[in-house]
Structure 1
């Protein structure tokens, strides 16, 4: 009986966590573009965040940003700011806002909004030259955003 009760409590906690996820359209940005509240209520995993940032089929952050912490990844870009010390330069909320939608902080940035699903000018269907056939999902999930933020917070000035 105790095992059943424990399972029900665990199920309730998992269900509550799923309900706590903030949808892309419900994010509360402050006047400077920061997002103070976690998108999931679950702490990010820095190891997963590094993987997302350095994998071209995921976040692909490495295409524009370089950092000593992932110098082992070939062909880092130099379009965006160097991310060494990002966890010292920006707060967790500022980093969350930048990853979710950097245009809320830097209006003219070319950085993609990784957690946005609407307001696009003309999204295409891959490389077909045709309009997207349906609503676009965010590039990263809410938890992946939290994972990237957790990793960025580890990049502190020495």
Structure 2
């Protein structure tokens, strides 16, 4: 499973360079959530949906959801339909930022964490997979999924 997660993350890296470590913004975990936006503002729902649906973000490699234009969707992780009912905005944010905080054995990459990771390619060390803005865009979209 760990190899699968690394392979999925490698596919994302091939799609474009991640943000640099200097761009990391501080956040506070409260219980099972990061209640405050990483950017101080809400994300863009349209950009968030585009990120979830494009294969380079790796979301639909493991997750399925209300994406009729994508014939092939994953079945390793929860269906994203109803995400906005099952989880709060803060809970979704923590799952994207650092899913391992909630489940050390998860295969979901930590999209905004750079410390404590192993087997990271030299050119990718110290860089998050997604920017704070991208995290907020995806959160903004996922909270709209209420069915």
Q: Where on the TM-score scale, by shorter chain, does this alignment land: which range?
A: 0.7 to 0.9
CA contact (8 A) 1:29 1:104 kept: no
Q: Deviations over 1:15-49 (max 9, x none)?
A: xxxxxxx825x3211232x1001000121111100
Pairwise mapping of residues 67-82 of structure 1 onto structure 2 (< 5 A)? 67=65, 69-82=66-79
Pairwise mapping of residues 115-154 of structure 1 onto structure 2 (< 5 A)? 115-124=112-121, 132-133=122-123, 135-154=125-144
5+ residue gaps, structure 1, are 1-21, 125-131
Q: CA separation in 1, counterparts of 2:31 and 2:119?
A: 27
Ranges of 4+ aligned residues in structure 1 off by more than 4 Å = none
Q: Which has the greater radius of gyration?
A: 1
**Alignment length, in residue pairs?**
125
Structure with more contact order per residue of length (Cα contacts < 8 Å, sep ≥ 6): 2
RMSD (CA atoms):
1.6
Q: Equivalent residue for 1:92?
A: 89
Give the secondary-structure state (helix, strand or coil) at the position aligned to 1:93: helix
Q: Equivalent residue for 1:107?
A: 104
Q: CA separation in 2, counterparts of 1:30 and 1:121?
A: 26
TM-fit CA distance, 1:71: 2.5
